[in-house]
Amino acid sequence: MDEILRLINIRKWFPVQKSFLERLLAKEKLFVKAVDGVSLTVWRGETLALVGESGCGKTTLGRLIVRLIDPTSGRIIFNGMDITDLRGEELRRLRRKMQIIFQDPYASLNPRMPIGEQVAHPLKIHGLAQGSELRDIVMKTLEQVGLTPPEKFYNVYPRALSGGQRQRVAIARAIVLKPELVVADEPVSMIDVSLRASILDLMLMLKQEFNLTYIFITHDLAVARYIADRIAVMYLGKIVEHGPSELVFENPLHPYTKALLTSIPVPRPLKEPKRVELKGEVPNPINPPLGCRFHPRCPIAGEICRREEPELREAENDHYVACFYVT
């Protein structure tokens, strides 16, 4: 298999903003450890779903991958090249190959620009086309994302479109540059439930057509199951389990994954029918629990989990888990 992206021990710690007095009195600087040591390989052509509860660091990881924000430490390797420190012109050129689609199709489009221009914009910035050629590419792309006939949509402003149509524009804007990797951050969570499947199917179709690799961020496991080849489960800034989609869904290993899965209706019965309830709230990412971060909520935590942090290890073929009690 051909590797497109590799994350090596990536961290993003956001400094906590404090008042002057608090800063004077504080013994140490505080950080929100949004992403706290993630290592992961993404294979070319696959859809990797990044799942986990709100606040576990999914969006931060997505933004780190496309270099919208800089990591506190760790390396990002894209197509075999270390892109962690790219700046200026080199970073701009990289952006053609990696695109991000955001959750909110209302906030991500410019309300004062007709959608044809919005889709043309990335091509203009990268100097890839102009004049009638530019217009032709935009028309074709609008058609590819199902905004047909494209002439009808070219001069329309976002306010005239539905949420689903807006997300199609956002997708058009992402694929118009023919990227290799697309990070989609909850692309259907703000869209009417009745339209979600059509957007997911569009994304799957475009993936085939353009040979894309997707990192698909979602808190919705049913969506993850529908779209993903592989699943990575995040908890408090770390990946606790990852593997091929069918293995993770049929045979979840981490107690957290089991709890997540029993909280959603799944089409096929799981091997483990016993319900696992999640106790309590997600702990504060400023001071994550010592040892295994999940131990305060874990139904099977033992002494070692309070003291030591489990590493991700391969429990079965290509299926990784960070838990002392998984055999």
Contact 274, 260 (CB under 8 A): no
What the block records as the tokens of 97 is: 């190959």
The interface with ligand ATP within residues 206-235 (CB under 6 A) comprises 219
- Indicate which of Mg ion, ligand ATP, none lies near residue 255 (CB less than 5 to 8 Å, by partner kind): none
Per rule CB under 6 A, is residue 56 in the interface with ligand ATP? yes
The interface with ligand ATP within residues 267-286 (CB under 6 A) comprises 285
**For the chain, give me the number of helices (H) and strands (E)?**
12, 12
Q: How far is CA 198 from CA 49, 106, 109, 111, in A?
A: 18, 18, 20, 24
Is the CA virtual torsion 243, 214, 256, 294 positive or negative? positive
Choice between 63 and 319, CB closer to Mg ion: 63
**CB of residue 50 to ligand ATP, shortest distance in Å:** 8
What phi, psi does 42 have (nearest 5°)?
Answer: -115, 130
Binding segment for Mg ion (CB under 5 A), chosen from 55-63, 82-90, 112-120, 143-151, is 55-63
Binding segment for ligand ATP (CB under 6 A), chosen from 56-64, 82-90, 111-119, 290-298, is 56-64
**CB of residue 31 to ligand ATP, shortest distance in Å:** 9
Query: Of all helices (H) and strands (E), which one includes residue 243?
Result: strand 238-244
- Residue 106: closest CA among 147, 63, 166: 166
Per rule CB under 6 A, is residue 187 in the interface with ligand ATP? no
Per rule CB under 6 A, is residue 60 in the interface with ligand ATP? yes
Per rule CB under 5 A, is residue 59 in the interface with Mg ion? yes
**CB of residue 21 to ligand ATP, shortest distance in Å:** 20
**CB of residue 186 to Mg ion, shortest distance in Å:** 6
Per rule CB under 6 A, is residue 59 in the interface with ligand ATP? yes
**CB of residue 7 to Mg ion, shortest distance in Å:** 17
Choice between 252 and 285, CB closer to ligand ATP: 285
**CB of residue 197 to ligand ATP, shortest distance in Å:** 21
Q: Give how many residues touch ligand ATP by CB under 6 A.
A: 13
Choice between 206 and 217, CB closer to Mg ion: 217
* 3-class SS of residue 24: helix
Strand bridging mode 47-51 / 230-235: parallel
The span from the CA of 249 to the CA of 269, in Å, is: 10
Choice between 123 and 200, CB closer to Mg ion: 200
The span from the CA of 281 to the CA of 259, in Å, is: 13
Contact 260, 247 (CB under 8 A): no
Per rule CB under 6 A, is residue 57 in the interface with ligand ATP? yes
Q: How far is CA 23 from CA 13, 26, 33, 131, 161, in A?
A: 17, 5, 19, 55, 47
- Indicate which of ligand ATP, Mg ion, none lies near residue 118 (CB less than 5 to 8 Å, by partner kind): none
**Helix, strand, coil tally for the chain in percent (to 5):** 35, 20, 45
Among 19, 54, 132, 327, binds ligand ATP (CB under 6 A): 54
Choice between 80 and 280, CB closer to ligand ATP: 280
DSSP 29-83: --EEEEEEEEEEEEETT-EEEEE-STTSSHHHHHHHHTTSS--SEEEEEETTEE-
Applying CB under 5 A, the residues found at the interface with Mg ion are: 59
Applying CB under 6 A, the residues found at the interface with ligand ATP are: 14, 32, 34, 52, 54-60, 219, 285
